[in-house]
Amino acid sequence: MSESYRYIFRFCCDPGFNDREETEALMRLAEKAEIDDVCVFANVQELNTGHMTYGEQETWLRLMSDLIPRLKEKGITLSVNQWHSVMHADLGKELRPDQPFRRMVDPRGHEASLCVCPLCAEWQRYIAGLYARYARLDASVLWVEDDFRLHNHDPLVWGGCFCAEHMRIYSEKAGKKLTREEFVAGVLRPGAPHPYRKIWLETARETMVSAARAIADAVREVNRTVRIGLMSSVPQIHAAEGRDWPLLLKTLSAGQPPVCRVHLPAYQEMAPGAYLTRFNLVSMLCAALLPEHTEIYPELENYPYSLFAKSRKFTRFQLISAMPLNLKGMTIDLYDLNGNGIVPEDGYEDMLRQTKPFLNRMLRSGAFQGKRLGVRVLVCQDSSFTLHTSRGESMEELYPRDAFFGGLLPALGIPFAYAVSPDLSGETVAVSGQVLRNYTAEEIEKLFARNVILMDGEAAETLTDLGLGRLAGLRSVRWMRQNGGEYTYEETVPGFVCRGRERARASAVISACDAAAAEYLPDAQVREFTAFHDAFRRRTAPGQTLAGGRVILFPFGHCEGIMEIPPMLLSAARQEILQEMLRCAGCALPMAEKVPYLMLYGYETENNRWLYAVNGAADDAEHAVVSLPWPAEKISWDSSSASAAAALREDGSLDISLPAMEAMLICLDKNGG
């Protein structure tokens, strides 16, 4: 493969203030950091004047037009980052007198002063006009900012839109005149979804597709070939506004390959293991929902900027750890958006240049285009249509918890891959939250009959609620409330040695979550691996179990965060227990043993199997053991670190040494030659 990894540098200056100096600084950085594309911000952040006029746009168009020939001389393309669509937040600004845009209204009736309703015809004409003018440039991609959404528009509560026009549409679909309070109560009603939920999600979906079509149509009238890219945020939140990823991306791309800037969930530096957990729960999920052949350029940003926000080392770690997204390159936002410009003293350009050869080798290996290997984590973009709410008080209750195992498994050394269809066979399939509500009884029957199933407590409850508990040997599921006193720890059953201990214990109090107490049918053939106990050392319920040799229950659930795994669920004991249960169920999976946050991503191509190992721990992994389910006679490897090493052990497993925050691609020859 001759394809090269693309650095897309997002560039901000203040025209008329420092554009001349910053243009020269940009040229120096582009050469030193080996930048492939310069993405010019327009009307950005601290310099944002609200919904800019076409006259104000001329300033940015002149800047871009002046940059294009200079960049071309260096073989660099230009793309456009129009910083606002709906607008991120009001930030004390209002619409101008000549901007008759309908403003966004939140579920409680608060009206924004600047953020607009994306269904507003006047605003759609305006934003389409901005993009049509950008389309006349010789640009590679016209980006649509991540404020192209219904949620997160401060100071609104959650977001919108519940304006008069939307309320008219909701009422028309409901067949009766609705008040906003009545409609929101229906959308969030506890228990089974009220018909208003479907009206909300379908209308929200239609709203954003309508706005995307307005932009795409205007661009295509001017330019048939320029690509239109979508910047995105957290997919679980987008689910609560009904986002149809394939439909939205295909509408926006309008005949060209879809392009998406997938969110990398760390604007500031954080513990690398915690970051990778977020990456797996957010970035990997988003990539799985995109239409086939989407070009992915994730968002690497270090807001609020400078080395105080993010070190060079952590920025490099984000670059090398993002390879499993099967990306084409990275959008990179490093410096203030207030007009300060490029700060060479921070030294990011040296790091970028030094890291790029490894990124190119990884891209050209072809490994990440292979079939994914690992536990299939079942997700559905439409889960917000079907899930049951518990309180009916906030829009956050519509966020699905389908991706739970996508965060847990890799942290415990178990590779995973998201699956968007239940039509699976011969796999290990993880189901969590209420994802099963999206499928028919026949689809669920086939899913359980053809695969080994790993469930969390909420999936077990859902299964019984659907009248299909027998598929997992379940009679009933009862919830034990976290910190309610009914359980404080798990203990392994007699005869199961874990961590070198009989009756090994794993804490389940404070930083955990609720737990499901399962009651099994008499013929369920249940093998217990752990049991819950209270503070008085009394057994209170079964813990982790294997039913019928094919259904594993990891009994925790009702986790509040959508971007974290409760800390108590990540422990050496639970790693060993879950890996042993998977082996007992006959699951053929590579697994990193007895080491934290050594995350494995598996792939299969015609002649090879591949493991991409990323060390998310702060400690070096020295001679870590990775068990293999397949025979391997020959391996080769490439790493981001000169200190890394990999070798086959006599028992057929791998011996890996990988420094902290480094990555390694291991190739296993399927033909043994």
> Per-residue DSSP letters for 442-506?
HHHHHHHHHSEEEEEHHHHHHHHHTT-GGGGTEEEEEEE-TTSSS-SEEEEPTT--BTTBTT-EE
Nearest to 9 by CA among 285, 301, 213, 266: 301
For strand 539-542 and strand 474-480, is the pairing parallel, antiparallel, or unpaired? Answer: unpaired
For the whole model, what pTM was predicted? 0.97
Task: Find out whether 86 and 116 touch, Cβ atoms under 8 Å.
Answer: yes
Angle subtended by helix axes 19-33 and 54-73, to nearest 10: 40
Residue 245: which H helix or E strand, with range?
helix 245-253
Can you list the positions of beta strands (E) in 315-387? 329-333, 371-373, 375-378
**Which residue from 98, 83, 85 is spatially nearest to 39, judged by alpha carbons?**
83
Write out residues in the chain with pLDDT < 70, as ranges. 1-2, 672-673
Q: Which two tokens stand for residue 565?
A: 């795994």
Please, what are the domains in the chain? 6-100+120-153+208-368 (3.20.20.80), 372-589 (3.40.50.880), 593-669 (2.60.40.1180)
pLDDT recorded at residue 2: 58
Contact assessment for residue 499 and residue 576, using Cβ atoms and an 8 Å cutoff: yes
pLDDT value at position 623?
97
User: Residue 563: CA atoms inside 13 Å, Cβ hemisphere, count?
Assistant: 16
Please give the pLDDT value at position 528: 97
Label residue 345 left, alpha or beta by phi (over 0 means left) and psi (-120 to 50 means alpha): alpha
- The helix (H) or strand (E) run that includes residue 260 is strand 259-261
Report how far residue 128's alpha carbon sits from residue 216's, in angstroms, rounded to the nearest whole number.
Answer: 8
